[in-house]
Structure 1
Amino acid sequence: MKNILLMTFLVFISSPGWAKDRHYYIGIKETTWNYAPTGKNIEFQSQKYLQRGQDRIGSVYKKALYFHYTDDTFRRIIKKPSWLGFLGPIIKAETGDWVYVHVKNFASRMYSVHPHGVTYTKETEGALYPDNTTDLQKEDDRLEPGMRYTYKWFVEEKQGPGPNDSDCVTRIYHSHVDSVRDVASGLIGPMLTCKRGTLDGDTEKNIDKSYVLLFTSSDENQSWYIDDNIDTYTKSGQVDANDHDFQESNVMYAINGYMYGNLPSLTMCAEDRVRWHLVGMGAALDVHPIYLQGQTLFSRNHRKDVITVFPASLEDAFMVAKGPGEWMLGCHPMKAFFNVKNCQKPSADLTGTDVIHYYIAAENIFWNYAPTGIDFFTKKSLTANGSESQKYFEQGPTRIGGTYQKLVYREYTDASFQKQKAREETTTNSVGF
């Protein structure tokens, strides 16, 4: 019966002729990661996170990461862009595509690969939990050391970008044997699901640069390798793993695994069309209002200068790069640099061909907050003895009363600022000064 249901499901979501099968070969390997490899931009506060000592681990930690391989021999790793940091390879697919993720676990403990934002059967879920399944339906839950497995996912139309979304939207995948500890150990990667026909090979059409940024406080205390890191980088017997200050020193506020401006290679030309894919993970306090200095972001059909992410939130934004020079992005505890080069490119501004001009002057006026002098709810004078309004509207040696000098905006008909534009009665009544 289960096989019949599975076959019915696969037939129902079978991809049309234009769809593609996309194959990714991913190995899970243990390695070391340095959160601040350049040693630059190190400020006084950074010492508690990055300074190695007898009872401090420092900036280098043992982690488990996803690596991209060329084929199923798992012999040659594909070099990823340096800005991707400790994130796994970017998985990309269009709606209607099948994604085959061929995984080999080189690590010393069991892990898996679990996706968000695609359709999968129970055999390719990649999540370990009590689900009353056995045999074939449990093989995907955890890959023991040395084990291989192929996850097969489908990108349904309803899970891809909506009509008002950007062409490619942000998704993630991560290990889900123990999701908190697995992700803290380093096993997380980005996935982009795109509208049909928007990918040219592995590149989004009409986009010059595309970046994925993960904002999170990586809690190395939750990592499976915390004991290994204590043994390797501290002096024996000097560490109290339950000490608050020690634990705080292992919470690394990082973008893609880089701290204090160490995130490299975020470069673009002025007028480049740039897509940012933003991921928030971590604990309850991981609420990050992200800014990009000197730029305007377009997200969810709105122009913004800040986009906020929080744990398990996925955002994307578009911008046309402006202002050659080195700029800063990030939020209060996490910062990185991006460089806009002058490549002599023609303007790719978001604005259209029609320009609307407004001529607005700031002018002094005297504004009366209640020109009739009447409280229309009580029908009495605003300065009546004992009234609630008396303290606001009574004028005297120590009281201003109801009239104040204000500086207000007024619209004019043209650049000469000689003739003030008439304000409609309904607008005047609702806007006031």
Structure 2
Amino acid sequence: MNVSARTDVDQDVFLMFSVVDENLSWYLMDNIQKCLDPKEVNEDDPDFEESNLMHAIELCQHRAVAWHLFGMGNEVDIHSAFFHGNTLLDRGHRTDTLRSFPRDLCHGSDGPESSGEVAPDLPTGMQAFYTVQSCDSETVSTATSGVVRNFYLAAEKVLWNYAPSGKDLTKNASLTETDSASEVFFGRSHGRIGGKYWKVTYKEYTDSTFTNPKPKTPETGHLGILGPVLRAEEGDIIKVSFMNKADRNYSIEPHGLHYDEHFKGSSYDDGVNKPGSHVGPGKNFIYTWQVLDGPSPSDPPCIPYLYYSATDPPRDTNSGLVGPLLVCKKGTLGPNGIQKGVDKEFFLLLSVMDENLSWYLDDNIHKFGKNQELEEDEVFEESNKMHAVNGYMYGNLPGLEMCAGDRVVWYTFGLGTEADIHGVYFEGNTFQRQSTTRDTVSLFPHTAAAVSMHPKAPGVFEVSCRTTDHYSAGMRHRYHVDMCPDKKVKHADMKPTRIVKYFISAEEIEWDYSPERVWELEKHHASPEDSPGSIFVEKGEGRIGSRYKKVVYREYTDDTFRVQKKQQPNQQHLGIMGPIIRGEVGEQILITFKNKASRPYSITAHGVRARGSHLPVSPGHILVLTWDLLESSGPGPSDPNCITYAYYSTVDFIKDLYSGLLGPLVVCRPGTLNMGEGSDRQRTDVEREFALLFMVYDENKSWYLDDNIRTYLNVDPGTYEGDEGFEESNLMHSINGRLYGNLHGLVMTQGQKVDWYLLGMGNEVDMHTVHFHAETFTYKTDRVHRADVFDLFPGTFQTVEMVAGNPGTWLLHCHVTDHIHAGMEATFTIESVYQTFNMLISGE
């Protein structure tokens, strides 16, 4: 921390968040030898004592502070830095939580009101404290000008059912069907608990007597396990009368609000008594919170936060104590406390509820399980990790109903651990966020996002997490858009301005993730036998190697599917991906799809209105389907001229994806594309376009695993039992299906405008911090941001814009440590203007 050299802030604070893995240090052996001899440590040495003192960061009240957060490290380095008791601006938007990832830089600014802590990871001690002092002789008033809003909340123990229907409603199948993904969580054999658990939830009452619960309404039926929605406007005071009707100490801690030490819901040893941090059973406490900071001018009218019990945050929240909080601009809420100008509000908490960390695990074992000794059994532990939305799984979340034409706001929340990377996908409709158009929003622990949707066509659509493990584990539900008599909706059908034809096949090929090993061996200074990359690309006993049978999308010239379209030099970089499918708003894309593979597949896209996309196409059959590029599919007001989506097969979303079926879809503003046909159609506003998919292909989940075992290991897959090393060797950390610098074709000329279409898909490990060496780019929200790293997560699609500046061949890679070692690296080349000119003269 230091006094800032800038004129717009008084102090700069720099924080690095990293799980420092000393196992990877050059000095591991030195440290072992040194630290195992306690005689070398003098506990009374002043320098030694000083080294163990964790000094607080000192700030001045109401003076501007710039916080600069950056991360380094590995897949576990997902940090949500929560600034207790204060808020700040992150790229112009109000928040109290900043995200940090490996090699990612994040900046926030604030004028702190009160002392607090920065706590991204409480259980492992990743906390820092900051003190706020009055540095001026004059006291600045923090008096509020709003109203006092009273709420009455109780903590009550309940018996919760994660799937009350007893069915996987997304498939209309039994949750305990043999070998189904849901049976892991809902089966009762071998001492497993099943889908019912004792939990504790926040319940709202009408007054301080806590005798009359507030009745549920159709508007609140979807909240599930969440507490009631607390709403307030900037300048208001929130008073929450809290009655603990449960059986142990609990509290309430809000995000985004200001409060005195007396009203803190969490406790740490700073010598100040905090009675609100541990309200005992049968006790009552009244919290007083101030809404000093409302939404910024760039924010929507209301911004979402969480409140939760923070007596022991991990155990309290996994036990069930969490709820939504809305902070709104003045004049936003009507007399009934509901937001004006909005027809429907929905609140979705996506979280892996870890019942192993619940206070009631023993109670649940005694009531539903069979043997307390199972607590450390891996299968038992996994069965208690409930991948839920508002406490429901596998389509059991009720109440997501709206009318076509409604103005809908979805408030989405994340909670949990580094496993809680969520890509929330709204099938069938796009939404607006920060003046951009998307259909997927990313969430992380203790973060929240508000998105606005205006559905116009009736239907039943899926809302789900695109993280593959979460999807299969039940984090998928349905929302209904109905035609309502009192709603006048402009007809969603349109006459397309142009019909653009593509002829796409699915066909099986042998794919080589690493045709050459020069890069890998030079990088590791190793021979093929002892290279760390050998586990992935060296064929041997129990190792398939770099070649696998896969299925890919490929383009043909016409509907006879006899002549495959020749790949142009500017398409070489696509690798395993299908062709870039391009279209403009107002057009209709007509796909003739032939399945030339050996099992059923489909082709469906994000962001468009699709007909026929989900239909499985049998081997040898052809299906003609349409994608309408409505206005809601196209770039938002602040987006670049073309935005990025993906298309893939959904017969079995996970297996189809890992088998290889995915391609980029680019939707542009009218007038952006030339009049070419199919993938030969190019943009007129940029000189180069490149699409990059960062994903760990999990070949263990491919349809062709047995074929690959049989072909490349020459053993019977029915009897082969692979070990953990075998499974690890099948995780291919690739860019467009290539490892260790084997992706080619990323060539441009100095001064050219280049658009990069970045795509992220996959699982919890698919946190990718995409770093372009020697160049920067811009990406757009409601503002233009410059960076050299962009964060990708499952379901993240983003166009970034670059002007190629520095001639040379430069590194392009994911900055997550494990991903670097596993080969998620490529290069891009910027040729100098003179070099390109000379090549043209020489005819090369």
Q: TM-score, normalised by structure 2?
A: 0.41
Quote the offset at 1:133 in angstroms. Answer: 1.1
SS in 2 for 1:151: strand
Please show how residues 166-185 of structure 1 align to structure 2 within 5 Å: 166-185=300-319
Q: Which amino acid in the other structure matches residue 76 of structure 1? A: N
Counterpart in 2 of 1:230?
365
CA–CA distance in 2 between the matches of 1:362 and 1:56?
Answer: 52
SS in 2 for 1:120: coil
* 1:257 aligned onto 2:391: yes
Counterpart in 2 of 1:304?
438
Quote the offset at 1:294 in angstroms. Answer: 0.7
CA–CA distance in 2 between the matches of 1:401 and 1:91?
Answer: 56
Larger Rg: 1
Quote the offset at 1:346 in angstroms. Answer: 2.4
Please show how residues 315-326 of structure 1 align to structure 2 within 5 Å: 315-326=449-460
Q: Deviations over 1:91-116 (max 9, x none)?
A: 00000100000001111100000110
Quote the offset at 1:126 in angstroms. Answer: 1.2
Counterpart in 1 of 2:331?
197
SS in 2 for 1:83: helix
Structure 1 residues 427 and 155: CA distance shift in structure 2, 3 A: same
Deviating beyond 6 angstroms after TM superposition, the runs of 4 or more aligned structure 1 residues are 8-11, 357-363, 400-413, 423-429
CA–CA distance in 2 between the matches of 1:45 and 1:321?
Answer: 32
Counterpart in 1 of 2:482?
341
166-175 vs 319-328, which moves further: 319-328
Q: Deviations over 1:257-281 (max 9, x none)?
A: 0000000011000010000000011
* 1:67 aligned onto 2:203: yes
Q: Deviations over 1:174-228 (max 9, x none)?
A: 1111100000110111000001001012211110000100001000000011011
86-95 vs 318-327, which moves further: 318-327
Aligned equivalent of 1:126, options 262, 265, 273: 265
Q: Which amino acid in the other structure matches residue 142 of structure 2? A: I
Aligned equivalent of 1:98, options 211, 230, 237: 237
CA–CA distance in 1 between the matches of 2:139 and 2:351?
Answer: 37
Please show how residues 274-423 of structure 1 align to structure 2 within 5 Å: 274-331=408-465, 332=471, 333=473, 334-344=475-485, 345-347=487-489
CA–CA distance in 1 between the matches of 2:327 and 2:443?
Answer: 19
Counterpart in 1 of 2:352?
217
CA–CA distance in 1 between the matches of 2:477 and 2:583?
Answer: 42
Q: Which amino acid in the other structure matches residue 347 of structure 2? A: V
CA–CA distance in 2 between the matches of 1:37 and 1:401?
Answer: 52
Structure 1 residues 409 and 239: CA distance shift in structure 2, 3 A: closer
Q: TM-score, normalised by structure 1?
A: 0.78
Counterpart in 2 of 1:142?
278
SS in 2 for 1:240: helix
CA–CA distance in 1 between the matches of 2:374 and 2:583?
Answer: 66
272-281 vs 328-337, which moves further: 328-337
Structure 1 residues 424 and 83: CA distance shift in structure 2, 3 A: closer
SS in 2 for 1:285: coil
Counterpart in 2 of 1:29?
156
Structure 1 residues 425 and 121: CA distance shift in structure 2, 3 A: closer
Q: Deviations over 1:374-429 (max 9, x none)?
A: xxxxxxxxxxxxxxxxxxxxxxxxxx99989999989999xxx8xxxxx9999799
Does the CA contact (< 8 Å) of 1:26 and 1:68 recur in 2? yes
* 1:108 aligned onto 2:237: no
* 1:12 aligned onto 2:12: no
Counterpart in 2 of 1:392?
none
CA–CA distance in 2 between the matches of 1:197 and 1:46?
Answer: 46
Counterpart in 1 of 2:183?
47
CA–CA distance in 2 between the matches of 1:153 and 1:9?
Answer: 24
SS in 2 for 1:321: coil
CA–CA distance in 2 between the matches of 1:313 and 1:112?
Answer: 20
Does the CA contact (< 8 Å) of 2:342 and 2:407 recur in 1? yes
Report % sequence identity: 37
SS in 2 for 1:211: strand
Gaps of 5+ in 1: 351-356, 364-399, 418-422
Structure 1 residues 359 and 196: CA distance shift in structure 2, 3 A: same
Structure 1 residues 402 and 282: CA distance shift in structure 2, 3 A: closer
Quote the offset at 1:305 in angstroms. Answer: 1.1
- Which structure has more RCO (C-alpha within 8 Å, separation ≥ 6)? 1
CA–CA distance in 2 between the matches of 1:329 and 1:20?
Answer: 37
Does the CA contact (< 8 Å) of 2:257 and 2:291 recur in 1? yes
SS in 2 for 1:107: coil
Counterpart in 1 of 2:121?
none
Does the CA contact (< 8 Å) of 1:294 and 1:322 recur in 2? no
CA–CA distance in 1 between the matches of 2:398 and 2:453?
Answer: 20
Aligned equivalent of 1:38, options 165, 186, 190: 165
